[in-house]
Every structure is written in C-alpha cells, then in structure tokens.
C-alpha cells in the first residue's frame, strides 16, 4: 500500500511539472488584414495602428523617386530597444508583405520605394524593403520576423496596400 501511494505521488508530481512547462500559444488574429505584435512572452497579440498614406513623387534632373508618405512625426505604437519585433497577421498573400524603415521629418515620415531614371526608355529600380522571414503561425495566419534586429526608428508593415506602423525607442 505504501509503495502504491509513493508511485501515485511520483506520477502526479511529474504530471504537474510537465503541464507547467508547456507553452501556451496566443490565439490567432480574428480579422484578415490586421497586423499584431506578438508580445515578448509569446502569450498575447497587440494590434498595431493602421495609418493612411499617400504616394508621393520627388522629381530630379536625371532620377525621380517614388515614396510612401505618412502624416505625423512618429507612430503611436512603441517598442523598447530590446523588445522582440515579431508580428502576426492573416492574409491571402503572405509573400507580398513588406517591412519598411521610414525617415522622420518635422511633421511626416516617408520611405522611398522606387527610383526612375529619365531617358528615352525610363528605367525603374525598386528599392528593397527590410529582409524578413514569414512563416506559418497556427492554422490560418502568418508570423513576420526581421532577419536582423531592428534599430531605433519608425517602421511600417505593408499588408496589401494597408500600412501598420510602430516605432522602436532607444
């Protein structure tokens, strides 16, 4: 009887410790076309703000530049310098999602996307976005993670023509 009680106590102690070490994955985003930060504990999703943008061209003598322009000096969504920048979203075209660094000016932010060289046959050079890795996250969503750590600055994630922003503080 004593051995049975010890065996039961032993089994229960391993059963409890195993369930405590299991990680709980946050639920997937409910809506298609929204971007969420996967918080550093991996337990919750925090929605990023969507900002309206406009396309802007800056003409030059030999080369013109096409940009995305956002109002305001910075995003309302802030990350600390050491926070992990991983984002979860639902979309039908995960391969088209892009991460851009925005340059801050007094009352707006912009990111250059294309340079067009003048001539008889204009040449377009697309400016690459920040390299990212997009992987499956759950049944119907994806996770975006930069391939290198992001430095302080203003960023935007382009999800099918919708821009979701965040900033990283020093």
Alpha-carbon Rg for the chain in angstroms: 23
Task: Return the half-sphere exposure (C-beta side, CA atoms, 13 A cut-off) of residue 67.
Answer: 16
End-to-end CA distance of the chain, in Å?
63
**32 three-class SS:** coil
Please write the tens of the pLDDT for every residue from 36-84.
999 877 778 999 999 999 999 988 888 889 999 999 999 999 999 888 8
**Nearest-angstrom CA–CA distance, 127 and 65:** 10
Strands, DSSP E only, in 72-131? 78-79, 87-89, 98-104, 108-117, 123-126
List the beta bridge partners of residue 119: none
**Nearest-angstrom CA–CA distance, 150 and 156:** 12
Please write the tens of the pLDDT for every residue from 88-135.
999 999 999 999 999 999 899 999 999 988 877 778 888 899 999 999
Q: In the chain, what percentage of residues exceed pLDDT 90? A: 58
Q: Which tokens sit at 105? A: 């000016």
Please report, for residues 13, 15, 92, 106, the alpha-carbon distance to residue 4 in angstroms, rounded to integers and kept in the order given: 14, 16, 56, 74
What pTM does this model have?
0.80
């Amino acid at each position: 009887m004593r051995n049975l009680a010890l065996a039961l106590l032993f089994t229960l102690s391993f059963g409890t410790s195993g369930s405590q070490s299991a990680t709980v994955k946050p639920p997937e985003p409910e809506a298609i076309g929204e971007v969420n930060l996967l918080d550093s504990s991996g337990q919750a999703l925090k929605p990023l703000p969507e900002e309206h943008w406009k396309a802007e061209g800056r003409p030059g003598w030999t080369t013109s530049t096409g940009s995305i322009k956002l109002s305001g000096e910075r995003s309302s969504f802030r990350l600390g310098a050491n926070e992990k920048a991983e984002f979860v979203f639902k979309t039908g075209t995960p391969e088209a999602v892009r991460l851009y660094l925005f340059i801050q000016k007094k009352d707006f932010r912009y990111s250059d996307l294309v340079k067009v060289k003048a001539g008889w046959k204009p040449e377009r050079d697309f400016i690459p976005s920040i390299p990212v890795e997009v992987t499956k996250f759950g049944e119907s969503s994806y996770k975006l993670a930069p391939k290198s750590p992001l430095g302080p600055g203003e960023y935007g994630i382009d999800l099918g023509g919708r821009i979701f922003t965040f900033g990283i503080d020093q």
